[in-house]
Each structure stands twice: as C-alpha cells, then as structure tokens.
Structure 1
Amino acid sequence: MTFSNNIMTDVPDMDTTGGRLSRARDAKSMTVAELAERIGVKAETLAAWESDRSEPRANRLFMLAGSLGVTPTWLMHGVGQSPDESETADDNQVLKSQIANLKLLHEALGERIDELEKVVSSLKAA
C-alpha cells in the first residue's frame, strides 16, 4: 500500500505567504521587477506581497505559482510543491569551484609567462 502526502498530512512550511513568495522568486533567480513584469503587476505591488503588507488575489496567486514552479497551496499554506532551493546553493558552489580553478590557471599562466620572458631575455643576451 502506498501513501501519498497531501495538504492534510504534509508538515507545512511555517513561513508567511510573503516569505514563501520571496524564497520561490530567489530560487528562480528573478528580481522583483522581473517577476512583477511577468505577471503584469507593479514591482511595488509584488514587494508589498513579499513583505506581507498585502496579499495577491486568486488569479495572481495562480500566475505566481505557475511562474515560480510551485503550487498555489504551497504559496498560501506552505504545503505542496515548493521551489528547489538547493539548486541555487548547488549552482553557487559550482561557480565558486570554477572561479577557484580559474584563479589557479591564471597563476600558472603568469608563472609560465615569466619563464618564457626569461628565455627570451637569455636569447637576446646570447
């Protein structure tokens, strides 16, 4: 027998609607202005939703959920499909690793240039 989670059995995300909205937007690497434009509202309106000063109407809630890859129930109640926030952390780690690798390569290249300059200098002297 297989059991599936639902709104009545899931442990809810205890953040506010605005907090969940902000986290989902961050997980998609979108700015407030980008998401606001995508769903057809002013950036100030979206900022008010994220700070819990107001809440989106049902039609906007569904547009937000679709744009952010989450379910409307997760946005409203913290239960359902949430954003994959680990992707952002994983992406950051990959980028940091690539930057560290590039720094090492840059250093090695600098050393090789110095070696070649010495060879050129010794050839000129000869």
Structure 2
Amino acid sequence: MGRAREAAGLTVAQAARRLGVKTATWQGWENDRSEPRSNKLTMIAGALGVSPAWLLTGFGEGPTEAIDDEVQVLRQEVGLIAQDMASAQARLDAVLKRLETFHSFHHVEPN
C-alpha cells in the first residue's frame, strides 16, 4: 500500500485526509497492524490508482506500470531540458563573444 501511495505522489497524511481517516489509521494499514474494512479498501484502491485485488494480494493492476510510465516521461523531460540548456549556453556564448568584440572596438583608453 505504501508503494502505491508513493507512486500516487501522496504523503501518508495526504492519503489519510483523502480517505477521511486519521494518519495513524493509515499508518496502521501500511504497517500491517490493522486492515481496512472492505468499503475502505475500494476507496483506497481508487485513490491510489490500483485494483483492490492488488492491495490484498499483490497481483493484478498495481502501481509499477504507472511508475515505469512516469519514469520514462521524466527521463524524456530531462533530455529535453539538457538540449534546451545546451542551446541556451551556445546562444549565451555567441552573445558574449559579440559583446566582447563590440566592447573592444568602442573602448577608449584614458590618456
């Protein structure tokens, strides 16, 4: 349950609030000190984007697929940002070189 909560990007407190339970109750579920009632199980599954069967058994639709998809999206975004940064650095270098040239032509040494 903790893995699914983390994959959903929720803290324990946020997940508990979303379901209308105390944080300690949610922590008890994650630490196997207690189990949610069946009506809460369906709500938990919906809130975390997993199947109730996965919560109970670990089989079925779990958070792994969502994590893999998100990791792929984030890797693509990192690649795009790196390209943007390289392009911006090249532009900055070109502008600085032009400025340097301009400055050397117009710089008057004091007598």
The TM-score range, normalised by the shorter chain, is 0.7 to 0.9
After the TM superposition, list the runs of 4 or more consecutive aligned residues in structure 1 that deviate by more than 4 angstroms: none
For normalisation by structure 2, the TM-score amounts to 0.73
Work out the CA distance in 2 between the residues paired with 1:63 and 1:85: 19
CA RMSD of aligned residues (A): 2.3
How many Å apart are 1:36 and its aligned residue? 0.6
Q: CA deviation at 1:84?
A: 4.3
Q: Which has the larger radius of gyration?
A: 2
Can you give the 5+ residue segments of structure 1 that lack an aligned partner in the other structure?
1-20
Taking only the aligned residue pairs, the percentage that are identical comes to: 38
Normalising by structure 1, we get a TM-score of 0.66
For these two proteins, the number of residue pairs brought into alignment is: 105
**Partner residue of 1:69?**
49
Write out aligned runs for 1:43-82 (5 A): 43-79=23-59, 81-82=60-61
Instruction: Supply the distance in 2 between the matched residues of 1:100 and 1:73 (Cα, whole angstroms).
Output: 37
Alignment of 1:1-126 (within 5 A): 21-79=1-59, 81-124=60-103, 125=105
Give CA deviations for 1:29-72 in whole Å, capped at 9, x if unaligned. Answer: 22211211111111121111111121112232232123233343
Structure 2: state its 5+ residue gaps.
107-111
